[in-house]
Amino acid sequence: MRSFSSATATAQAHVATAAAGEKKEAPFAHLSDDEVIAALKRGEMRLFSMENDLGDLKRAVRLRRVFVEDRLQRPGVLDTLQYEHYNYSEVIGQCCENVIGTVQIPVGVAGPILVDGQEYFLPMATTEGALVASTTRGCKAITSSGGCTTTLLRDGMSRGPVLSASSAVECAEIAAWIEKHIDEVKAAFNSTSNYARLQSVKPTVVGRNLFLRFTATTGDGMGMNMVGKGTDKALVFLLGKFPSLKVVALSGNVCTDKKPSAINWIEGRGKSVIAETVLSRNVVKSVLKTTPEAMVEVNISKNLVGSAVAGSIGGNNAHASNVVTAMFLATGQDPAQNVESSNCMTLMELTAEGDLYVSVSMPSLEVGTIGGGTTLSPQSASLRLLGVKGSDPAEPGKNARQLARLVSSGVLAGEISLVAALSSGHLISAHMHLNRKKH
């Protein structure tokens, strides 16, 4: 076996050759496994660049696992974390760094559910027993009553930088200037993308801080990167007009991303969508094992009054985040955005005929069908199942909007089933049956 110093010298020679203009090679590809680990320990190979240094994605993952276990002196601790049989080329440089394996989450389907006249099965990745079954029961009630309809109210991703000026007076003057010259700001913003189109800029002045909430359509992408890039370009334009203006941070938390906020609840973010249905009294009795009156009572007392007592913002629902998160994981969405995406108000009321009207209003559902985790093969399968994979060439944004409609319909089904279970007293018995392993 070659000595480490000899191997390192050879690797350095590879780097020098690449720098001289010849075809670049993975500088540490020729090392043995032991030599790779030794190079990591000596700091001559970086943990996060092993894929490029070795030129072998799977080998990089395998040896990174070995190094981590050795460093922690916990041999074999990662044995049950799967790493083989996975296409890491879909991950590297896009979805994750310092990869040591993959976590498997079971994916079930809820349905069939009739949404806007078309039948779907909704993919849900979850480890909570009874969730898919419960949502499926809600789907059955909806479909048996003729289906649900969805309405898209708004479509716009936001980014809210914070800037500072010499005074509140100057901030107000800049805000007024932006309003008068919005077309110029839009031109700067829109120049960064073929799909991102600035809709509005809402200024908020706090002392000598100026918050600007940029909102734009982003095609079929969830849009954070697109809006961030456009916002950055627009800020460069503004700094050219106002040299005393200072960008404190590209995000000033009035966006608001991955945090609870009233602004998303009121103004919306991403897709603002409503799903609604009328459940016949017979279906409520036969499928949900309760009555419309009992469900209305639970919904008012729990989702409206109870949430008000708790001081909840955007939480006027039974468990919207359950379905949102499960469908997000299955379709490659950013799971951290379930915070604002789960904003939901569930309403239930009796119709004149004695049936049950149910709606879920979701003002800030953030989804996309291109980019991020949507490019991974398993998540792509779920998107194809829903018929929304990728971007619609004829109408950019259509697939992402449709995904939002389908997520809201899943939430509608989940809300119906849980409220029914609470009104009939079946919640605990169902969980004991479906969420407990039988020994």
The Cα 67–Cα 62 span in angstroms is 9
What is the length of the chain? Answer: 439
Any idea of the CA torsion for 336, 340, 341, 343, to the nearest 10 degrees? 140
Smallest Cα–Cα separation from 24: which of 60, 4, 53, 47?
53
Rounded CA Rg of the chain: 26
The position carrying tokens 């078309």 is 118
Can 431 be counted among the known catalytic residues? yes
Q: Are 348 and 299 in contact (CB under 8 A)?
A: yes
Encoding tokens for residue 11? Answer: 């690797």
> Cα–Cα distances in Å, from 264 out to 187, 269, 271, 302?
26, 6, 11, 22
Catalytic residue, candidates 69, 297, 334, 392: 334
CB-based contact 412:138 (threshold 8 Å): yes
Which tokens hold the place of 377? Answer: 């093969």
Q: 14-22: long-range contacts (C-beta < 8 A, 24 or more apart)?
A: none
The answer to whether the beta carbons of residues 242 and 165 sit under 8 Å apart is: yes
Q: How far apart are CA 258 and CA 251, in angstroms?
A: 12
Identify which of 362, 403, 397 has the alpha carbon closest to the alpha carbon of residue 382.
403
Residue 181 DSSP symbol? T
CB 386 within 8 A of CB 120: yes
Please check whether residue 153 is in contact with residue 273, taking contact to mean a CB–CB distance below 8 angstroms.
yes
Give the residue among 395, 363, 361 at the shortest CA–CA distance from 256. 363
- Establish whether 241 is a catalytic residue: no
Among candidate residues 320, 328, 314, the one with its CA nearest the CA of residue 386:
328
**What's the CA gap between 168 and 173, in Å, rounded?**
9
Q: Among 128, 184, 276, 297, which one carries the catalytic annotation?
A: 128
3-state helix, strand, coil in the chain (%, to 5): 45, 20, 35
Is 276 a catalytic site residue?
A: no
Tokens of 294: 């009992």
Q: Is residue 285 annotated as part of the catalytic site, yes or no?
A: no
Please state the separation of Cα 357 from the chain's center in Å: 29
φ, ψ of residue 382 to 5 degrees: the values are -65, -40
Among candidate residues 202, 258, 398, 426, the one labeled active-site is 258
Q: Which residues are catalytic?
A: 128, 258, 334, 431
